[in-house]
Amino acid sequence: MMQGECIREMTVDIPSALEGLTSIDHRATALLRREHEAILGAFREYHDASRGAREAIGQQIAVLIEIHDRVERAVVYPALAPYYGPLIRAFLTEHDQISSCVAIICDSRNSAADVSASVDRLEHLARDHIGREESSLLAPVERDQPGLNARLYASIVAEKERLAGVVDDLESRS
């Protein structure tokens, strides 16, 4: 399954998935941290859920991560690459590994055991990535690039709105 397929294949309400993922102070780093919290919270919900509810929560996790990945690839990483190029390249490699887990979760042909194993691997990869990204990238951006941090916020919000519109358009064609 190609990157982005999960969003098209799922019946998750994208605007609801994005709801509340804003930042009062309009800093990109604060917004990204809120998204990280939502993703990690979804993993906790997954582990606390009954076996029957886990599939839907796993798909919700996949959508949250896929949206986050698209925004970082389209907006955040290109804007920060001139300042943090080697770090961005390393994070893109991590995103590729994370995307491979998301693809397994979204592919309905995979067994429940394969999906469960992928959710576990995805959680491990996501936790490691989030920790590195917050300490090695977001903290330096807050310290060294306050103007860029503020400008990036609007670009992130616009990309999320664009993604929500794309999903609405795809759903209307189905």
* Domain range list for the chain: 24-168
User: What pLDDT is recorded for position 3?
Assistant: 44
> What pLDDT shows up at residue 44?
98
pLDDT at residue 84, rounded to an integer: 98
Cβ proximity of 98 and 129 under 8 Å: yes
- 156 and 28 Cβ atoms separated by less than 8 Å: yes
Phi-psi region of 49 (alpha: psi -120 to 50; beta: other; left: phi over 0): beta
* CB-CB neighbours of 117 under 10 Å: 14
Residue 68 CA, chain-centre distance (Å), reads: 3
Q: Are 67 and 17 in contact (CB under 8 A)?
A: yes
Q: List, for the chain, all residue ranges whose pLDDT scores fall below the cut of 70.
A: 1-24, 166-174
Q: Which tokens sit at 49? A: 């859920």
pTM of the model: 0.84
Q: The tokens 């009954």 sit on which residue?
A: 50
Predicted confidence at residue 118, as pLDDT, reads: 97
Tracing tokens 């019946």 back to the chain, one arrives at 11
What local confidence, expressed as pLDDT, does residue 166 receive?
A: 66
Give the burial string for 154-168 (b: 16+ CB within 10 Å, else e). ebbbebbeebbeebe
| CB under 8 A, 24+ apart: contacts of 86-94 | 87/136, 87/137, 88/137, 91/129, 91/132, 91/133, 91/137, 94/125, 94/128, 94/129, 94/132
> What tokens were used for 164?
């929500």
Residue (of 129, 153, 4) closest to 79 by Cα position: 153
